[in-house]
Amino acid sequence: MRFRFPTVLTVLTIAFAVLVFQDSAARAEKAATIEKNSRTALEQLNQTSEAAKRLAEDAAAILVFPKIVKGGLIIGGQYGEGALMQADAVAGYYSTASASFGLQAGLQTFGYAIYFLKEDSLSYLDNSDGWEIGTAPNVVVVDKGAGASLTTTSGRGDIYVFFFDQKGLMAGVTIEGTKITTINPE
C-alpha cells in the first residue's frame, strides 16, 4: 500500500482539528488526573532545571500544562489542560489553546509551566476574560541557556515560562497568542 505524503498529512490535520476544537467540557479530564499529571511534570521540571527550582521557591503560583498537543498543515492548533498550583495546593484548572495559519506541517507534544512571581500578575490571569499570553504583563520565556544563569534578581519579569518534554515532528514552539481559560473538570 502506497501513501502519498500530502494525503497522510491532510488526514492527520483533520483528525487533530476534530480533537482540538471539540467542546472542551466534553474533553476535560478528571480533576484528579490533571492534578497528578501537573504535579509530576512540575517535579520533573524542577529536578532538571535549577532556574525553575529557584523560581518555584519565590513564585506566587505556577500554572502547569503537562501535555499539549500541537499540529497542523497550513492551518494548525494546539490544546492542553493543566492546574494552577499555589502553596502546594490546586487553586484552579485551565486549558490552553491556539490556532495558527501559515507555512507549517507536523505534530508535536510538549508541556510548559508559567511561574507567576507577583500577586498582581496572577490576578491578571483571574480577572481577564480568557487570558492571552502576549498581552500579559512582562512574560519571559526561559530557554536552557538563559535558565542556567537565571536568578530572581537577574530575571526581573513578572511571569516566566519554561517549556519541557518536547517530542514530535514540528520545529520550534511559541506561546504567542495562546489563550488560557478556566475549566471545570468533572
**Mean pLDDT, the chain, integer:** 75
The C-alpha cell 499570553 sits at 133
What percent of the chain has pLDDT above 90?
Answer: 33
Answer for the pair 35, 90: CB distance below 8 angstroms, yes or no: yes
CA distance 58 to 47: 16
What is the residue range of 77's domain? 5-183
pTM, two decimals, is 0.73
Question: Nearest 5°: CA angle at 151, between 52 and 93?
Answer: 35
Count of domains forming the chain:
1
Residue 156 has pLDDT above 70, yes or no: no
- What pLDDT band is residue 36 in, cutting at 50, 70 and 90? very high
The C-alpha cell 520565556 sits at 141
Residue 11 has pLDDT above 70, yes or no: no
The x, y and z cell numbers of residue 36, run together, are 497528578
**Mean pLDDT computed over 137-156:** 45
Residue 28 has pLDDT above 90, yes or no: no
**Burial (Cβ within 10 Å: 0-12, 13-18, ≥19) of residue 141:** middle
> b/e string for 146-159 if b means 16 or more Cβ within 10 A?
ebeebeeeebebbb
